[in-house]
Structure 1
Amino acid sequence: MTPEHLEALLWERIDGTLSAVDRADLETHLADNSEAKKLAEEVSGLADFLVSVPPVPSPAGLRAAINGALAGARPPAGSTTTRSVVTHRRVTDSWRTRLLPLAAGLLIGAGVMQLLHMGGAGAVMESSVLGTMVATPVQGTASVVEIELGPGVGSVKAVCDGTLLTIDAVVVGSAELQLVLETTVGNLRLVETTQTETSSSRLQSYDGRLVLIADGPGTHRLVAETEDDATETRLTVMIDQQRVAERRLGQAVRENQP
């Protein structure tokens, strides 16, 4: 017995249209085949779900339009007319009449929800859109400082996570950018420096300071580590030897913030 024929008989049994001869054949096949039993359970579960769905009235004229479209449809060329296909088609037509109200109800519900979002619930939709535009705060103990250097210059982002400091600089102009890291207690240890292939930079270290000098456009990263996560570190940003920004980083700064 093919899976298609078996499924058709299972739907007929649920519909109550299965003949006595076919019922006997079906019971015998189910008793001898575990895969057939599994398919029978799936069909039965699907039927129970469809029956449990509450009926929803369809809009006026929708059923007539669907029936008209189905009546005018032509069968595919070269289709067979075996018993399994004919039986399955008859059972499908029976269940199609039950699924029409469900499909129409889902369509109406989707339309109503869309209208609500466009009209009375506009404030909710606007709030959702705005929520995606708000920056997400960094979780845990990390803190982030962002510095915009202005149009045609670039930006700097500093992330302090425990003892680790990561400074990312994006330079879009031709100015010389200097990043100066210094700490009031202890020493700074250089972890790494990276840059894009088309950019150039150099690193200097003196008096407990780490200085990254970037020439021209590109992306640069400076990673350093302090001796203690309570150490306060100062970041100074300079453009063409002129100081344009100064920020304090570290656990001590975060604890003193309101």
Structure 2
Amino acid sequence: FDLGHQLRGRVGRSHHQAYAYLLVPEIEGLTKQAAQRLDAIQQMEELGSGFYLAMHDLEIRGAGEVLGESQSGNMMEIGFQLYNEMLSEAVRSLKNGKEPDLLSPMSATTDINLHAPALLPDDYCGDVHLRLSFYKKLATAKTSDQLDGLVEEIVDRFGKLPAQAQTLIDVHRLRVLSQPYGVVKVDAAPGVIQISFKPNPPVDPMAIIGLIQKNKHIKLAGNDKLRIERELPDPKQRAQMVRDILRSLGTPRTEAVAA
């Protein structure tokens, strides 16, 4: 698989037009994996696509054992990203002296919806691979400092953030801020904002009561949801409103970690 791609890269290294012909038997006689590999090679025509070709190969044949001898596996059953997350979770549990709980669900992220386009536009970041890379980095950032570093990198490479990109950053800033408060969902529409908490969130109940008493536009909607009725047409205003409300609840309690 990779050898064919490397052979193709060995031609055309002068000013003359060159071609690489890869000959195969009848297509119908190829195995499913061989056909997938050929299709991937045909699609990867851009400079520097070797890495993405290797990722395709990893998905096709499956990852090998990290601590074993097998060089292929069944990673394709769950996907490369989830495989990495599960592996990281297991390693983290072992480092903490705990047995990995393979039956428990992976930690869920906070769902943030500002009801506005949140993306890196094509005319701002034209390289699809770069966009996907930044999306992944933003989604896995766990602190405000990490997000600040990514924003600095994006602005340095592409210039001032357009509105859609700024909304994307606001979404991830809210995600990072909300998770310690036990927030599972933020639905921030122009007229109504709803903040949903998990059961028994690490927040002082008296802080929530005080917040509601001081602000007539904030109400409880059930046992685990705050409803804010305020007309805020700009998604940046809605994001700021959510930040202000969460910070007004004080510092979230740190959940005890079992030894």
**How high is the TM-score relative to the length of structure 2?**
0.28
Instruction: Give the greater-gyration-radius structure (CA).
Output: 1
Q: Which has the higher helix share?
A: 2
Q: Structure 1 length normalisation: TM-score?
A: 0.28
